Amino acid sequence: MPSILCFGDSNTYGYYPNGMSGDRYPADVRWTGILESKGFTVIDEGMCGRSVPVDPRLVESFFERWEKLDPPDIFMIMLGGNDLLHDESVTPEEVGNRMDGFLSELPRLSWYDPSHTLLVAPVPMVEGAWVFDDELIEKSRRLGKNYERLAAKHGIAFADAAAWGVKKVFDGVHFSEEGHGAFAKGLLDVPLVKIALAEG
């Protein structure tokens, strides 16, 4: 089966906002679990609250762990929303600079292959209990264009999840159950993902 390393935040982890702290949607609801049901081996690197890593020690800790893996067929990265959510002064361009720095470090991985790497722009935020600022919503929408330019610069694949009709729950940040299904559907339509599944 083809493998996919999914490096992301709470929406990769599958955080269930209606439960106790740290609860996740069931595996068959999470988009990562749906990918598994379609034939992928998923390496789930989702963590609640994660921003684009900029601390060299943190980046090194990821690399040390990932070096022990067999080369994944796809290395998918979806981060940036928390950078905006946690600091209202941060701009999409600054988040793009952080991501640019992280992507520039990836060639240090022995198995890294840009042709097998996918940068996904997070689903934009909507108004909700955690999001009540129109400017924040607009910033989250602008991440897509910044990431598209970065993907072209680094020679990697790009997908903008804003186009996939992913619904959010009451907080305006996290995917609903239906949203996970829509995200999985959109991801499975990305050419890089379709090719990996067909060849797997």
Q: Could you report the per-residue pLDDT of 83-137, keeping only the tens digit for each? A: 999 998 999 999 999 999 999 999 999 999 999 999 999 999 999 999 999 999 9
- The answer to whether the pTM exceeds 0.95 is yes
Domains of the chain: 3-199 (3.40.50.1110)
Three-class SS of the chain:
CCEEEEEECHHHHCECCCCCCCCECCCCCCHHHHHHHCCCEEEEEECCCCCCCCCHHHHHHHHHHHCCCCCCCEEEEECCHHHHHHCCCCCHHHHHHHHHHHHHHHHHCCCCCHHHEEEEECCCCCCCCCCCCHHHHHHHHHHHHHHHHHHHHHCCEEEEHHHHCCCECCCCCCECHHHHHHHHHHHHCCHHHHHHHHHC
Q: With a cut of 50, which residues of the chain have pLDDT below it?
A: none
